[in-house]
Chain A
């Protein structure tokens, strides 16, 4: 499980995740992801296009990051989930906590909305 952070224009941080977001994967990036997401305190996009698989601990990681960010007045939007990952997130009704967008552009539009 890999994680790369880059700052987009206008104070938006993008965290790209790559690999299997299962229990070992989530454990591997747990602290780094939460720190990168929550520390920004602003808008965070999470690029899931490189995530091939997600399990319950992966969902937990995303929720924990989103909650922490929300508590600091920030907002998180997920985008680019592959069909298998999208189905799992949709089944768990995660979109009620963290918006799910198709592309980075759509994710930026969700932030502005």
Chain B
């Protein structure tokens, strides 16, 4: 991964594109998944493309889904990067927050910010994008099976070209117990997934 990141930086590439092998079952457990490891470790914008037929996969207009965790609001350099990408693509940007179910055991590990006014935060992010001339729609979803499931269902329903998540710093304990939504999402989706981690 380090080599690829270095090569991308040398070539002034804006994004690193990885073709997922989309392994499942035993091969997945034995060989692992490079795209999954890359998603969790890349220090560069990473686009994972699943080897799925493109026929009927995407909407006619370009649509992006941006997953937002209101407890960990992306910093302005992330928002600027996304705005620039949405602008050149003339994309409709869906801002999506999946409200987590309350869990007895891990509830104490969830940040108290989880209960903050999600509408208010989404509306602030929305006005940032609208000022930049991006068409947006904000959506608050209920968690179904998991946050990743709700997000994957939403992206499918909108036939999104990209589902974008931004890197969230979590403590080791929180990571171990809450896991990674990006990793779960990657397993569930058939759509291109852009994981954004920028060196600030």
Do A and B actually bind?
no
